Amino acid sequence: MAVLNVDHRADAYLIALANLRRSLLVAFLISAPVALLGGILLAQLVTRPVAQLSALAGRVVEGDLTARARIAARTEIGMLADVFHLMVQRLHVSNRSIVGVVERALEARAGEPGSLRRLAAAANAVGERLDLTTSQQEALEFGALFHDIGEIRTPEAILHKAGPLTSEERAVIERHPVAGMEILETVPLLTPALDVVVAHHERYDGSGYPHGTKGEEIPLTGRIFAVVDTLDAMTHARPYRPARSLSEALDVLRKGSGILFDPRVVDVALGIPAERWAELLQCARA
């Protein structure tokens, strides 16, 4: 009888043990995916801000000082992002001060104080209507300020010649976009300006220089500035010709649409009231 009782208790124990093992297995099968999912979500919460901050740092290194990352987490990473944004903002202000110094030096050499800032404002007025991004707007602005920096390698006797240029002199003049690129490509702060510097004398039909690029192969900022630079050049006197009226300049633009200039950019430019153009270019309407 005692043996039967022992066997019965052993069977009950084994059954209970089997039930416990089964319960533990079920609990594990239920909790493991939940734990795994929780771990993945937690890892994302930690790694996503790090990845965002890393991507932001990459954009800043490439010269985009307008870049920002939205990191809402109030963790050490979030606070690091705030400090990083502040550092970039101060660097941006400092760099703009440097740009201003170079800008004034270029204007002094050309003998036209305020001319580069005038061009930058006019270019951005067109860029705003084409919904450029903040970084594109800044690239357009910097391009306007430094578009002719390559002319520092051009003899002043050629730059300010009152009469017609010889073919050799014309060839020297037409090298200034490439010279400008060679100067600016060594300065990371100013590399956003390169598209305008290289392409502002290219023409929509491929008849421009230095590369004969055409159509939408020409960078958008270069196509915008080509229109603005043409208007500005025509409405201000040069050593070799008098200024033309704003209405004449706009008519030249209209006739060159789709030939010399991007028609979309021309349409936007012609949509700006003449009074506004006169204000931007600081010229007479008539």
pLDDT at 214: 96
Number of H helices, E strands in the chain: 12, 0
48: pLDDT strictly greater than 80? no
143: pLDDT strictly greater than 60? yes
Alpha helices in 156-285 (DSSP H): 156-159, 167-173, 176-184, 194-199, 220-234, 246-255, 263-270, 274-281
Q: Residue 256 belongs to what H/E stretch?
A: none
CATH code: domain 114-281 is: 1.10.3210.10
* Domains of the chain, residue spans: 1-112, 114-281
Query: What band does 6 get if pLDDT is binned at 50, 70 and 90?
Result: very low
pTM tops 0.85: no
224: pLDDT strictly greater than 90? yes
Handedness of CA 195, 251, 236, 131 (dihedral sign): negative
Least trusted range by pLDDT, from 86-100, 104-118, 160-174, 213-227: 86-100
Tens digits of residue pLDDT in 169-215? 999 999 999 999 999 888 877 888 999 999 999 999 999 999 999 99
265: pLDDT strictly greater than 90? yes
